[in-house]
Amino acid sequence: MAWTRHQMAARAAQELKDGFYVNLGIGIPTLVANHIPKGITVTLQSENGLLGMGPFPLHGQVDPDLINAGKQTVTLVRGASTFSSADSFAMIRGGHIDLAILGAMQVSEHGDLANWMIPGKRVKGMGGAMDLVSGVRRVIVITEHTAGDGTAKLLRACTLPLTGTRVVQRVITNLCVLDVTPAGFEVIELADGVTREHLQRHTDASIRFSDAAIER
């Protein structure tokens, strides 16, 4: 059985280490915050200018001056700080953020990422995604393994306009976990019931399997 969105988020949360400063993208990556392992301290950065983002506020505690990069109302944790956009992106492009977990439209076997525009469709803009992928030390993508119409999202080369080149280190899909290696995609974990053959059929790049990618 393929992993659910929450199982994907829980798997991504295993990538977090004590003391990490982390930026979570919009969508499934946001759910990672609900699965931070007990006993470790992770500080969430929101690129609109907030370090130490807490959960959504209670009904009576909504503050219009306190939102996240998805424009949702949020709260501050103890020890939080707020700052300007230039300072926020100094953290990002200066390599001070340990990990970014982002969504994707396409990922290539070289780690190229496309997640901001589809030619001919409504263009909303890249927001901070290009800065994040070029500046954050480690970039992990969470995405469904294939698009809604069944086409592959993991490819030899992206066909959509890029967000960054050679920026993704690891991909967590609903079917597996893959690393981007100099030799291309290497599967390191399979979701229960997913076969190697099934995975290859739904990936438009050649994939290798580590010994740990055991069919269950």
Partner 1 sequence: MKPRAEDKPVYTKLWPDARSALDGIVRDGMLLAVGGFGLCGIPEALILALRDTGVRDLTIASNNAGVDGWGLGLLLETRQVRKMISSYVGENSEFERQYLDGELEVEFCPQGTLAERMRAGGAGIPGFYTRTGVGTLVAERKEHKNFDGVTYILERGIEADLALVKAWKADRLGNLIYRRTARNFNPNAATCGKVTVAEAEIIVEPGELDPDEIHTPGIFVHRLVHNPHPEKRIEKITTREA
| Closer residue to partner 1 (CB): 16 or 50 | 50
| Closer residue to partner 1 (CB): 27 or 57 | 57
Catalytic residue among 47, 144, 186, 215, which? 47
We find the least distance from the C-beta atom of residue 97 to partner 1, in angstroms, to be: 11
Query: How far is the C-alpha of 174 from the C-alpha of 194, rounded, in Å?
Result: 10
What are residue 61's phi and psi, to 5 degrees?
A: -115, 15
Q: Which amino acid type is present at position 213?
A: A
| Closer residue to partner 1 (CB): 66 or 176 | 66
Half-sphere exposure in the Cβ direction for 3 (13 Å, CA): 22
Cβ contact 182:165 at 8 Å: no
Q: For residue 211, count other CB atoms closer than 10 A to its CB.
A: 6
We find the least distance from the C-beta atom of residue 138 to partner 1, in angstroms, to be: 15
We find the least distance from the C-beta atom of residue 16 to partner 1, in angstroms, to be: 21
Query: According to the 3-state scheme, what is the secondary structure of 145-199?
Result: CECCCCCECEECCCCCCCCECCCCCEEECCCEEEEEECCEEEEEEECCCCCHHHH
We find the least distance from the C-beta atom of residue 198 to partner 1, in angstroms, to be: 32
Cβ contact 105:114 at 8 Å: yes
- 47 flagged as catalytic: yes
Residues that bind partner 1 (CB under 8 A): 46-50, 55-59, 62-68, 70-74, 76, 82-86, 88-89, 92-93, 112, 122-131, 134-135, 161-165
DSSP category for residue 67: B
| Closer residue to partner 1 (CB): 14 or 85 | 85
We find the least distance from the C-beta atom of residue 210 to partner 1, in angstroms, to be: 28
Q: Three-state DSSP class for 9?
A: helix
Q: Are strands 184-190 and 207-209 parallel, antiparallel or unpaired?
A: parallel
| Closer residue to partner 1 (CB): 41 or 72 | 72
Catalytic residues: 47
